[in-house]
Amino acid sequence: MNSHRYFAAFLLSGVAMVASASQVIRFSSGRASVPLPESFRVVVTGDNVVATFGANADHTLELSLLAALSKQGGAAALGVDFVKTQGAKKGLKVMTDGERATFSEAGAQEKRGGKTYQSMHWQIGLRNCVFTMTLTAPLPMSQELDAFLGEPLNTIVNKVACTAP
C-alpha cells in the first residue's frame, strides 16, 4: 500500500506536466475532455471513458463525469467543494489549487483469470464538475503501469477539462 501513497503524493504534488504523445478524448456530452496516451485503446459511452493499455490490454483506466453541479449565474466551485467535503469525510488528504481538488484511495484486490488485480480510485473536482477515475492493473506492477504512474497519470489529473455553466 505504501507504493500507492508514494505515487499519489507524486501525482498530486501540483507539478504540471504534459504528455509527450497524447490524444484528447471528448466525452459524448461534449462537456468534458481528457488527454490520454496515444497507445491507449479508448471507448467513450456517454460521460464515461474506458481506456485499456499494457501488453495484454489488461490495465484499465475508467474516467466518468459524474456531475456538472452548477446553474447559470451560480457558484463557480461546487465540484471543488464537493470533492473537498468527500475527502474530509473519508479522512483523506485532499490536494487543491483552488480550481481543482483531488484525492485518491487504494481499492480492493480481486482475482480474475488466475491473476490478482489492484485498483486505485480518484475523485477530481474541477470548478463545477466532479469526475471519478479508477485504475485497475494486474500485480505485480508491470513496466507499462510503472511508466503510466508518472507523467501520463499526472497529466490526466491536471489536464482533465470540463465546461459547466
Does the structure show a pLDDT above 90 at 122? yes
Q: How sure is the predictor about 53, in pLDDT bands with cuts at 50, 70 and 90? A: very high
- Alpha carbon of 156 to those of 70, 122, 124, 138: distances in Å? 23, 11, 10, 21
Q: Which amino acid type is present at position 110?
A: E
Average pLDDT over residues 114-128: 95
| 32 vs 11, more confident | 32
- Alpha carbon of 88 to those of 1, 102, 105: distances in Å? 20, 11, 13
Q: What pLDDT score was predicted for residue 6?
A: 38
Q: What pLDDT score was predicted for residue 127?
A: 85
Its sign, for the CA torsion 136, 109, 86, 68, is: positive
Instruction: Give residue-wise pLDDT tens across range 70-110.
Output: 666 666 788 999 999 999 999 999 999 988 999 999 999 99
Q: What is the DSSP string of 33-63?
A: EEEEETT-EEEEETTEEEEEESTTS-EEEEE
CA torsion, ordered 151, 156, 159, 164, to nearest 10 deg: -170
Q: Which domains does the chain have, with CATH numbers?
A: 2-11+21-159 (3.40.1000.10)
Residue 29: how many other CB atoms lie within 10 Å: 13
Q: How sure is the predictor about 31, in pLDDT bands with cuts at 50, 70 and 90? A: confident
What pTM was estimated for this model as a whole?
Answer: 0.83
Instruction: Give residue-wise pLDDT tens across range 126-154.
Output: 988 999 999 999 999 999 999 999 999 99
Beginning with the edge strand found earlier in the chain, give each strand of the sheet holding 41-45 in spatial order: 41-45, 48-53, 59-68, 129-138, 115-126, 100-112, 95-96
Its sign, for the CA torsion 138, 141, 142, 148, is: positive
